[in-house]
Amino acid sequence: MRSTLWFALVQRTRERLIEPLLWFPFPALIGFGLVIVLRGHLLTGFNHRLGTRADVVHLNAETLTAPGIWISIYQDKDQLVLVTDDHNRFMWPLGTRDMKTLKPFIDYLNKRTAEAAFKQTLSLEIEKDRTRAVLAVDQKLKYIHIRPILFALVEAKISNYGFETRVVN
Amino acid sequence: MTALTILQSKILRTKKRLSSNVWYLPIIVLALLLLMTFLSTALRGISMPGSFGIVEAEFPVVTDEKTVNPEETWAQPRATIDNNAAIVILTRDRFYFGQLSSFGKDLSAVHNKFQIPHIDGAPDLPRLVLDLSKWQIEAKAGRSLVFVPTEDIPMPIVIQCFAALKKSGLFDQVILGGGLL
């Protein structure tokens, strides 16, 4: 009787091990898919350029080492959209001349420069790149669309800025 | 049913079960994972290269002489924009250049301004740099340049012209102007 039970147990185990476990790979697939989706679409902090639609000009220029205050600028229908490196989003009508619409953006720039100044004071270091505004401008935009942003930079007392380019070897 | 028949039936079922290749599905899924990894990496590599550059610019800073003397400030001015500074205006069909005073005071005069038409709609940057270098020596113009594109110029052209003027080495400061016209 004892050997029969043992034999039955061995048989059940063998069958269990031989039977294909169809559910096994799918959790891995789901996990992999989540990593792709989160990295590519949701956790844009992984790379601040993700999630923005600015296609910058192709031009060999000095290598961009520190992004500073990175601002992506592109057009969405009749709106100018600005997305910053910390995922703040600002919008106003294209070709606006009303400085009131820029006020939230100017306030944001003031806050960023104050934070950068505070960090530099604590670390007893001055890094010009930290308060530099880097504008990643979409190729479809014209100069009239960028002028309000330049005015906003002046209002926020940011004198150092630059245009991001894509270096093509 | 005899014990032999039961045994034979069991053996048959086991043979049938073992004959189906249970590794097919995991292999397919693993291959799919590898393919997705490869495609994801390739697409990210194509769409987002790691090398980005910057064309640096700056706004001129004005010191308030009523409260702080330039001698008292911690940073001495590198250059001063005066009437002697150069100005380049980019329009849809040509460049205009001259001294700042010629565009500020005598706007209608033609003897103190120069123009370089575009070639097939594209800015003639080599000729602009060449003419600027000759004019700079003759006119004894300053080493500061204000570059003013008109409103309808696409940004890629603005950035490329700005970068070319900076790269020319003719000027110490190149400033992107706005709202002057």
Tokens (6 digits) for A43: 């956790």
pTM of the model as a whole: 0.71
ipTM attached to this prediction:
0.73
Residue window 74-103, chain A: list those with CB within 8 Å of chain B: none
Residue B79 lies in a domain: no
- Residue B104 shares a structural domain with residue B157: yes
Residue span of the structural domain in which B16 resides: 3-47
With an 8 Å Cβ cutoff, is A156 touching chain B? Answer: no
Which of these ranges, A54-63, A94-103, B76-85, B164-173, has the smallest mean pLDDT? Answer: B76-85
Interface A:B, Cβ pairs < 8 A: 136
* pLDDT of A46 higher than 90: no
Residue B74 lies in a domain: no
Model confidence over A8-19: pLDDT tens digits?
888 888 877 776
Residue B132 lies in a domain: yes
* pLDDT of A130 higher than 80: no
- Residue B147 shares a structural domain with residue B95: yes
* Nearest CA-CA partner of B119 in B128, B110, B111, B129: B128
Tell me, what's the pLDDT at B181?
Answer: 44
Contact A56, A139 (CB under 8 A): yes
With an 8 Å Cβ cutoff, is A37 touching chain B? Answer: no
Residue B70 lies in a domain: no
> How sure is the predictor about A84, in pLDDT bands with cuts at 50, 70 and 90?
very high
Q: Residue A32, CB half-sphere, CA atoms under 13 Å: how many?
A: 15
Model confidence over B136-161: pLDDT tens digits?
888 888 888 999 999 899 999 999 99
CA atoms of B152 and B158, how far apart (whole Å): 10
pLDDT tens digit at each of 181 positions of chain B:
677 788 888 888 877 766 665 566 777 788 888 888 777 766 766 666 568 899 988 887 765 555 656 555 555 666 677 788 899 999 999 999 998 888 877 777 777 889 999 999 899 999 999 999 999 888 888 888 999 999 899 999 999 999 999 999 898 889 898 754 4
Q: How many distinct helices (H) and strands (E) make up chain A?
A: 4, 6
Which residues of chain A neighbour B60 with C-beta distances below 8 Å? Answer: 159
CB contact under 8 A, B33 and A29: yes
Residue B164 lies in a domain: yes
Tell me, what's the pLDDT at B124?
Answer: 93
CA atoms of B158 and B156, how far apart (whole Å): 5
> How sure is the predictor about A139, in pLDDT bands with cuts at 50, 70 and 90?
very high
DSSP E strand stretches across chain A:
62-63, 69-76, 79-84, 89-93, 133-137, 160-166
- Residue B43 shares a structural domain with residue B96: no
Residue B60 lies in a domain: no
Tell me, what's the pLDDT at A37?
Answer: 66
Closest Cβ–Cβ partner in B59, B149, B159 for A163? B159
Helix segments in chain B, DSSP class H: 3-19, 24-47, 100-104, 125-139, 155-167
Residue in the structure block whose two tokens are 């640096």: B56
- Residue B94 shares a structural domain with residue B171: yes
Kindly state the average pLDDT of the residues A15-24. Answer: 68
Tell me, what's the pLDDT at A24?
Answer: 59
Closest Cβ–Cβ partner in B37, B51, B176 for A167? B51
The CATH code of the domain that includes B116 is: 3.30.420.40
Tell me, what's the pLDDT at A142?
Answer: 93
* pLDDT of A104 higher than 70: yes
Tell which of B152, B159, B165, B176 to mutate to test the A interface (max A CBs under 10 Å).
Answer: B159
- Residue B90 shares a structural domain with residue B43: no
Split into its structural domains, chain B has a count of 2
Residue B69 lies in a domain: no
Residue B153 lies in a domain: yes
With an 8 Å Cβ cutoff, is B33 touching chain A? Answer: yes
Tell me, what's the pLDDT at B161?
Answer: 94
With an 8 Å Cβ cutoff, is A25 touching chain B? Answer: yes
With an 8 Å Cβ cutoff, is B50 touching chain A? Answer: no
- Residue B43 shares a structural domain with residue B105: no
CA atoms of A156 and A89, how far apart (whole Å): 17
End-to-end CA distance of chain A: 79
Kindly state the average pLDDT of the residues A18-24. Answer: 64
With an 8 Å Cβ cutoff, is A51 touching chain B? Answer: no
Domain ranges in chain A?
2-42, 69-163
